[in-house]
Structure 1
Amino acid sequence: MASEDDEETTGDAPETARPEAAKAEQAVDPKIAAAVAAAEAAGAQNGESVRIDSWIWAVRLVKTRSLGATACKGGHVRVNGQNVKPSHTLRIGDEVRLRQENRERIVIVKRLIRKRVGAPVAAQCFVDNSPPPPPREAVAPAGIRDRGTGRPTKRDRRELERLRGLMSGGAGRPHGQ
C-alpha cells in the first residue's frame, strides 16, 4: 500500500502545479487553442530560422509575402533598430518596426511561424507596442438622394451648385452666364 500512496503523492504534485496553467488554457477559446497548436506544428523547429518577410506576412502585418519583401527593400522594416533585407532571420524577442500607410507598427516577436495563420492566432505570435492609429477624419457625405427619385431637377442642381460654392469658399459660377 505504501507504493500506491507514493504514486498518489507523485501524481498530486504535478496536478498542484498545473491549476494555473489549466486556468490559463481555459481562458483561451478552444478553437484558438487548436489553431495555436496547428501553428506551432507549422512553425520553425529548434535551430530553424524564419525570414522577416515571411514572418510579417504569416502574422498578418502585410497582405502578401512579396509586399513584405518590398517593404524590407524599401527600408520600411527595421529589426532591433536596423534596416534589414527580406532574407534577415528573426529570433524570439526581436523588435520589429514596420512603417506602412502613415503609421508605424512596433511588435516584439513571441513565436516564430512560417505559415500564414488566422488573425486570433497571429495576434498571439507577437506583442503589439504600436501607438494607437490616428483618428479617421470625419468627411461629410456627398449629397445623397433617395433611391428612385431620378435625376436632380434644374432647381436641385442650382441648390447643389450654390452649396458647393459656399463649401469650397468660392462663389460658384457667376450669375448671368
Structure 2
Amino acid sequence: MGWCDPLPLVSRTPRHGRGVNPPSRTSDVRRSTGHTAYGLYAHVTWHTWRRIQQVRAADVHRLCDAVLAAARRTRVRVHAQAVLTDHVHVLISYPPAVALANFVREAKSESARRINTARVDAQRVRWCRGYYAGSLSRRDVGAARSYLATQFHRHPDRIPG
C-alpha cells in the first residue's frame, strides 16, 4: 500500500516508506480569514478504470506528489492519503470557496500524467469517471485517519507491489 505524508515524518508502513502523518494540531483544525471561520473536511476516493489493478509500488510517490501539487493549486489541505492498486483515498480540509471537483480533476489528471510519463511499458493508468466525497465533522477526522491507516489490512491483496 502506498501511504503519502504531506508533512515530514519518520513512521513507516510495510514495504512502502512514509506513513500517515501525525494527528492535526488544534491550530490546524479550524482556519480563519477575516470574519470567516471554517472547518470543512472530506474523505475523497476514486478508482481506476474498471477497477483494474494498475497502480504499482513505483507509482505511489508520483501519485502522492501529484495529489499534493493539486492540493496546493486548489487551496486544499491534504491530511492523509492511502494508495492501493485500484483506488485512492484522500482526507482533506478546504475553505468554503473551493470546489472539490476542481481538486479531484487536478489530482486525477496530474497523477495519471506523471505516472504514464514515467512508465516505459504500454500499460497506462486510467482513472474512472467521477469520484466519491463524503463530508466529515471535526470529531470524525480521527476515525477517518484510522480508516485510511488500516487500508492495507482491509485490502492486503491490493497493496502496490
TM-score, scaled to structure 2: 0.22
The higher relative CO (CA closer than 8 Å, separation ≥ 6) is in 2
